[in-house]
Structure 1
Amino acid sequence: MKKTVFFIIILFLLTACQGYLEKAPDSNLDMQIDSEDKIAELLTGAYPEASYFTFLEVRTDNVGERLNGIHSRLNEAMYYWEDYDQEDLDTPLNYWNSCYAGIAQANQALELLSKYPKSGRIKALYGEAFLLRAYLHFMLVNIWAEPYGKSGSATAPGIPYLTKPEKNALVDYKRGTVKEVYERIESDLKLGLSLVDDDYYAKPKFHFNKKAAYAFASRFYLMKGEWDLVVSYSDYVLGIDPKPILRNWRNYKKEFQSNNKYLYIRYVSTEEPANLLLATTESRIARNIPSEKYGVTSETVDKIYNQHGIDGCYEHEKMRMQPHFLFNYNDGHIDDAQYIAKFDEIALSGYIGIRPKGIYVTNVLFSTTEVMLNRIEAYAMLGEYERAIDNLLVYLAAQYEERLSCPRTAYMQTSSENYQIYTPFYGMNINQLALVKIILGFRRQEFLHEGLRWFDIRRFYIPVKRTSKNKFYMPLEKEDPRKLLQIPAEAINRGLEPNPR
């Protein structure tokens, strides 16, 4: 799965930015990276080898408690928004370390590239390195720091933004501010966009190809609330007619019929036109989501898929979307557990103990579906309501063959009580509120198990309440400090400012 001895050596060689674990690089592993091909391999190994899906998804309102579900400390801690600092697959610490290891490799590549004549391929490698550095910092700041905009981005602590390959493991870093981190991400993103070139990729969907880069820009400017830019970058990805490149769930249903467990064959395929960027991660998510104690239940499925719709349209106020999504039930003795088989799995070690490693799963990091929903939201916030509605109708028809007969005004009607739920830093009028509520509902359905709901909970300051008798349970409030994961203990020990608790 793209894991070669070369990458393993490089990963250990470049653990300086992973230096929060205080492990010095072994000089005996030093090796020459003396060709364009080796720099390209270095960048291939910089994509995150850890997944955020598991630890972010269970923090959302997509999950509930399953009777007789299999308990794990990570699953429980994330469900109750507790701090968890153990190193294992699918943990926050593992993702933090993987991101900084990737950043170290991107920085190393940038330093090496400076020694080469600026040929077309060298420029393309520069572009990939800048995009990787921007993306990895973007994910870190959106998990471990305040959301952009509302709570004083100019003063709120961000995360360390690293631009040079460190020569020593024990380095003191500063967090900077969220605003500063976003400025640096934007600078790298723009450089990457100007240089990225698909012609040099053998497997473009496992790299920041041009459409994946523009999809990243669409998400980045959505977080910033810069709507014109969201539209322009989304337009490049979606083209004149987005219908053929959106994820067609009706075709999935015809293809798999009653074999829903094999959905992953298509869902993570490089042949699926909706998939823009894929990553191979070491993860247990495929085997854990059917049976974990805290996961998707019949109750949460009904709420997410059958209780959402168009508030102003009586006929479609509650749209029954569940049948489109090919749900599976757990086969064992775990009551109430449902899941969608979005994840493949290849086990290299053959070990199937309690905490097996060497298990690789493909994650979809960017898709045309997300970009389409980003553009609909941007149109709504620009006050271009007709375009927003037109795009929404295309989305529903292309993905689910749903054709609604609601009057146009219905899409812009909702209760003013929803202002108590959705409170982004930029504010919304009632028309925008109604459309955003619709869009977020469909985003929630589409990206179940993939963690993206957590970012919407953060940027809209959505509260989350559990049905729980646990004496330590406290609901997650709108501006709850637990919406920021705690900085890893080793980083705090090195002097990095912890998040408030």
Structure 2
Amino acid sequence: MKIFKYIALSVLAVGALSSCNDYLDTLPDDRAEIETADQVKDLLVSAYPNYNNNTIMEMMSDNVTDNGKTYASSVLKDELYRFKDVDDTGNDSPYQSWNGYYRSIASANEALQSIEKLGLTESAKNLVAEAKMIRAYSMFQLANTFCMAWNPAKADEYLGLPYPTEPAKFIGGAYKRGTLRELYENIDKDIEEALPYIDDNTYSVPKYHFNKKAAYAFAARFNLYYMKYDKCITYANEVLGSDPTAVMRQYEPLTQFGAQDVGTQWIKTSDPANLMILATYSGASYNLLYPVSPRFQHNTYVCSFATYWAKAPWGSGSGGSKEGAKALLYYSNMMYGLSQAVFFPKMMPQFEITDKINQTGYLHCVDPIFTGDETLLCRAEAYALSSQPRYDLAINDINTWIKTHCREKATDGTTRPVLDEASLNSFMDEMEYSPAVIESWAELTIRKELHPQGFTVAQGTQENIINLILHMRRLETMYQGLRFIDLKRYGISYTHLLKGEEQIIFNPESSDYADPRGAIQLPADVIKAGLPANPR
């Protein structure tokens, strides 16, 4: 068994949570009557989602594979990996994700209703903006989880989700799902109405809220998925300014730390890269990083041939090999765990102790949900896909990402690449397309066959740029669930291997690369209450 730098499961970065305690202390559901703007402000603290979809989206993506039946799996991870409808109702299940996001929306609506009742609409525009941004974000997360990817050609056919605009504790038969077009239009409306009035001076710790940069980063990501590429670029520019590296993570200082300390550094509000941080009740960090129920996990095979150690313009090779020791990519030599569960130590488990005597409490996932690094890649993709593609600007952004994520020089003297159109094309064109059906891990490459949903990607430069950006996004957003959305958006086929069983292909050719399993099934009690289920 190959062993990497291993972190004992009993070690928890409790100290890292102390800076988030005020954020985690949300108001109870049974609230006093709202009578002032300050009380509305307090209410909005509790309106941010307290559950996430990270485990759901990661387990359904190509970031994980099967280690075999000799390793245990939780029911949740097993059902998600097999693309089954999930019965589990624990913290990281579709059930809790659904209820958590809709509770967030109900709280935001309660704040909006209170502002209107108190006649504070004009004097509290900043609070209205925050409430609408929270509502839009939670609806966007629900859409990414329970709906198909945005496709303008099918938006009137695909099911949307209820978009409540008044407080409600349960979303069931009293609501209609509507269409995906209606859902995206409502999200867009909330974002556009909120953006001008977001005010950083409203918050004592802006990065626990929708501050300006976070709001524009959200708007950039949403408009990228919505295929409004010029708007994506405009909003990303508001975040990135004239020097994107000023809001991007610096990796060299992290190399001096061990895993727990890297995890602590990763979620600091003082890091300019972290635009907004969200803490949720979640075991996602255990589910996805540590070898807890490790049958389905990001293992050495995925790491070596598909993610951190895959061949890319900056090199390749496992952390224990001669080539890996010379790798330029910072990630490549900052990997921990066992061969069955290899991880980069971002978003380490955080434990909130509520009983100091018995040492019991709650697991949290503390996630920088918007960063300058991911926003840069949103802009790069938008540059490449806009109606008048700017490949030069897309490649500039790619080079900026490489500059911040790679050492200037490896131990053998290899220098960090600076790509232009010719060298990028040369590198990508020499690769074979990665097969959807895996016969040998060595066949995998970062070059995928793309079947975009509702848009086109031309062969050659455009396809090559997009494939490289998608690989960068895969590394950048590991454990955060965005990879599965990219797979849906681009109709990428991939395989979930099962030891001793028939493998499962997502996006088989017969489905026109719009696999209905990409829309997670609604919770059973919601379907029983009368809301139409997702087609299967």
TM range (shorter): 0.7 to 0.9
Tell me which residue corresponds to 1:263. 262
Preserved CA contact (<8 Å) 2:47 2:105: yes
Per-residue CA deviation, residues 167-217 of structure 1 (Å, 9 max, x unaligned), is: 888761100000000001111001110211111100100100011000000
Tell me which residue corresponds to 1:348. 353
d(CA) in 1 for partners of 2:184, 2:233: 19
Structure 1 pair 173–157 and aligned structure 2 pair: CA distance change class (3 A):
same
Letter paired with 1:7: L
Tell me which residue corresponds to 2:380. 376
Preserved CA contact (<8 Å) 2:108 2:135: yes
Of the structure 1 ranges 211-220 and 463-472, higher mean CA displacement relative to structure 2 is found in 463-472
Mapped pair 1:499 → 2:512? no
Tell me which residue corresponds to 1:425. 454
Tell me which residue corresponds to 2:60. 59
Structure 1 pair 301–335 and aligned structure 2 pair: CA distance change class (3 A):
closer
Letter paired with 2:65: G
Cα deviation for residue 84 of structure 1 reads 0.7
1:305 is aligned, of 302, 305, 308, to 308
Mapped pair 1:481 → 2:516? yes
- Aligned pair count reads 470
> Per the alignment, in what secondary structure is the counterpart of residue 156 of structure 1?
coil
Cα deviation for residue 464 of structure 1 reads 1.8
Tell me which residue corresponds to 2:41. 40
Preserved CA contact (<8 Å) 2:329 2:406: no
Per-residue CA deviation, residues 453-480 of structure 1 (Å, 9 max, x unaligned), is: 1110111111120232353642112322
d(CA) in 2 for partners of 1:394, 1:189: 28
1:410 is aligned, of 408, 423, 426, to 423
Letter paired with 1:267: W
What pairs with 1:205-244 in structure 2 (closer than 5 Å)? 205-244=207-246
Preserved CA contact (<8 Å) 1:249 1:325: no
d(CA) in 2 for partners of 1:408, 1:166: 52
Per-residue CA deviation, residues 237-265 of structure 1 (Å, 9 max, x unaligned), is: 00111112211222211x31xx1232111
Tell me which residue corresponds to 2:443. none
d(CA) in 1 for partners of 2:60, 2:115: 40
Preserved CA contact (<8 Å) 1:50 1:283: yes
Tell me which residue corresponds to 1:451. 481
d(CA) in 2 for partners of 1:177, 1:493: 20
Structure 1 pair 106–325 and aligned structure 2 pair: CA distance change class (3 A):
farther
Preserved CA contact (<8 Å) 2:27 2:46: yes
- Length-normalised TM-score, structure 2: 0.82
Preserved CA contact (<8 Å) 1:107 1:164: yes
Tell me which residue corresponds to 1:390. 396
What pairs with 1:4-403 in structure 2 (closer than 5 Å)? 7-8=27-28, 10=29, 13=30, 31-66=32-67, 69-118=71-120, 122-149=124-151, 152-166=154-168, 172-253=174-255, 255-256=256-257, 259-288=258-287, 289-291=289-291, 292-303=294-305, 304-310=307-313, 320=327, 323-324=330-331, 327-330=334-337, 335-342=339-346, 343-349=348-354, 358-382=362-386, 383-402=389-408, 403=416
Per-residue CA deviation, residues 18-75 of structure 1 (Å, 9 max, x unaligned), is: xxxxxxxxxxxx6311121221111111111112112211111111223554421111
Cα deviation for residue 150 of structure 1 reads 5.4
> Per the alignment, in what secondary structure is the counterpart of residue 365 of structure 1?
strand
d(CA) in 1 for partners of 2:207, 2:418: 37
Letter paired with 1:290: Y
Preserved CA contact (<8 Å) 2:399 2:418: no
d(CA) in 2 for partners of 1:168, 1:60: 29
> Per the alignment, in what secondary structure is the counterpart of residue 306 of structure 1?
coil
Structure 1 pair 52–180 and aligned structure 2 pair: CA distance change class (3 A):
same
Letter paired with 2:27: F
Cα deviation for residue 162 of structure 1 reads 0.6
Preserved CA contact (<8 Å) 1:205 1:275: yes
Preserved CA contact (<8 Å) 1:302 1:322: no
Structure 1 pair 44–421 and aligned structure 2 pair: CA distance change class (3 A):
same
Per-residue CA deviation, residues 436-495 of structure 1 (Å, 9 max, x unaligned), is: 000001111122111111110111111120232353642112322211100111111111
Letter paired with 1:60: S
d(CA) in 1 for partners of 2:244, 2:144: 28
Preserved CA contact (<8 Å) 1:248 1:400: no
Structure 1 pair 425–131 and aligned structure 2 pair: CA distance change class (3 A):
same
d(CA) in 2 for partners of 1:86, 1:168: 19
Per-residue CA deviation, residues 87-130 of structure 1 (Å, 9 max, x unaligned), is: 21111111110000010010110011113454876111000001
Structure 1 pair 350–335 and aligned structure 2 pair: CA distance change class (3 A):
farther
Preserved CA contact (<8 Å) 2:250 2:404: yes
Aligned identity (percent) is 29
d(CA) in 2 for partners of 1:449, 1:148: 22
Letter paired with 1:467: L
Preserved CA contact (<8 Å) 1:121 1:200: no
Preserved CA contact (<8 Å) 1:66 1:337: no
Structure 1 pair 100–321 and aligned structure 2 pair: CA distance change class (3 A):
farther
More helix per residue: 1
Letter paired with 1:435: I
Preserved CA contact (<8 Å) 2:146 2:519: yes
d(CA) in 1 for partners of 2:74, 2:55: 12
d(CA) in 2 for partners of 1:337, 1:5: 32
Tell me which residue corresponds to 1:442. 472
d(CA) in 2 for partners of 1:223, 1:103: 21
Per-residue CA deviation, residues 393-451 of structure 1 (Å, 9 max, x unaligned), is: 12211232453144532224545966733424210122211100000011111221111
Letter paired with 2:399: L
